């Protein structure tokens, strides 16, 4: 699923292409909003909220979309071919202006609502990592509200902080030195240093210790060689020749595998069946009986 930074970049592209421009084309390919016409309205802005996209339009309307796993928005110049987004039947929304067209492919969530009702779809989200409402203290308090909850699950809960996905969840757990299944209170961010200590900071002199650093440990002795450096003479090994397999006797019958009813010379476990048209050994199949075996 696209994470908060991907959604933020998508919102930035859409805002650059649509904000402040009048819509000359509007096509919502969702049955519930198939008759909605936004043509003639001005796009005010496109704002990301966590993993949600809010396209605010003149008249107190907001087009809410979510990419989920497969959704994507593409911006094309008018007159250019729409390529890279997907097939035509995967288009869910088209918003066009005088010079650019924004096309939404495979959007699993697409709804048109009034702008004052945005809290109905994004009001449950916690502080947005890339939004103006980011509050690290509140996000940390939300994560530690349930100390026994697995850390990975708490990070993915958008009610704690919005925008985290599997990639950033894994990276944060790595930086904290904790597994995603460990409790949330196992390694809080404030209990760990911002960066791992360097080897130069691992030793500090005490009041009674000299200020000089302790001598560096001596180099360990070299490991013994796994093989002797000088080749050792050894008795020559006798050459063993594999006995040659005697050739098979030539076939005396026109049938490629021997007589009917006999076993194959190279596969004794296979028995050659009796073929129609064989009245005796040494005779070929008759033309009238060879058709079913062609």
| Residue positions annotated with a catalytic role | 2-3, 51, 244
Residues forming beta bridges with residue 195, ordered by sequence position: none
For 265-290, letters b (16+ CB in 10 Å) and e give eeeeeeebeeeeebeeeeeeeeeeee
Residue 206 to residue 198: CA distance in whole angstroms: 19
HSE of 150, CA atoms in CB hemisphere, 13 A: 8
Pairing of strands 109-114, 52-57: unpaired
Tell me the CA distances in angstroms from 264 to 14, 246, 255, one per residue in order.
75, 17, 11
Q: Find all residues with CB under 8 Å of 207, minimum gap 6, and list them.
A: none
């Amino acid at each position: 699923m696209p994470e908060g930074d991907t959604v933020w970049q998508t919102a930035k592209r859409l805002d650059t292409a649509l904000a402040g421009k009048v819509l000359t084309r509007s096509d919502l390919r969702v049955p519930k909003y198939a008759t909605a016409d936004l043509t003639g309205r001005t796009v005010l802005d496109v704002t990301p909220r966590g993993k949600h996209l809010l396209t605010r339009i003149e008249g107190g309307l907001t087009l809410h979309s979510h990419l989920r796993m497969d959704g994507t928005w593409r911006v094309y110049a008018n007159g250019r071919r729409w390529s890279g987004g997907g097939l035509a039947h995967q288009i869910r929304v088209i918003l066009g202006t005088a010079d650019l067209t924004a096309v939404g492919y495979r959007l699993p969530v697409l709804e048109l609502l009034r702008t004052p009702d945005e809290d109905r779809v994004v009001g449950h989200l916690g502080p947005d990592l890339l939004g103006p409402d980011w509050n690290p203290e509140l996000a940390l308090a939300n994560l530690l509200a349930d100390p026994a909850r697995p850390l990975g699950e708490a990070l993915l809960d958008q009610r704690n902080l919005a925008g985290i996905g599997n990639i950033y969840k894994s990276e944060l757990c790595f930086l904290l030195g904790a597994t995603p299944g460990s409790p949330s209170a196992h390694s809080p961010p404030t209990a760990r240093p911002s960066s791992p200590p360097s080897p130069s900071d691992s030793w500090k002199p005490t009041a009674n210790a000299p200020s000089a650093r302790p001598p560096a440990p001596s180099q360990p002795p070299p490991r013994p060689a796994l093989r002797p450096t000088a080749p050792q003479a050894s008795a020559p090994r006798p050459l063993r020749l594999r006995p040659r397999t005697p050739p098979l006797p030539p076939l005396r019958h026109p049938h490629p595998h021997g007589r009917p009813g006999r076993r194959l010379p190279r596969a004794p476990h296979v028995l050659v069946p009796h073929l129609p048209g064989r009245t005796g050994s040494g005779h070929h199949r008759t033309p009238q009986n060879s058709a079913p075996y062609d």
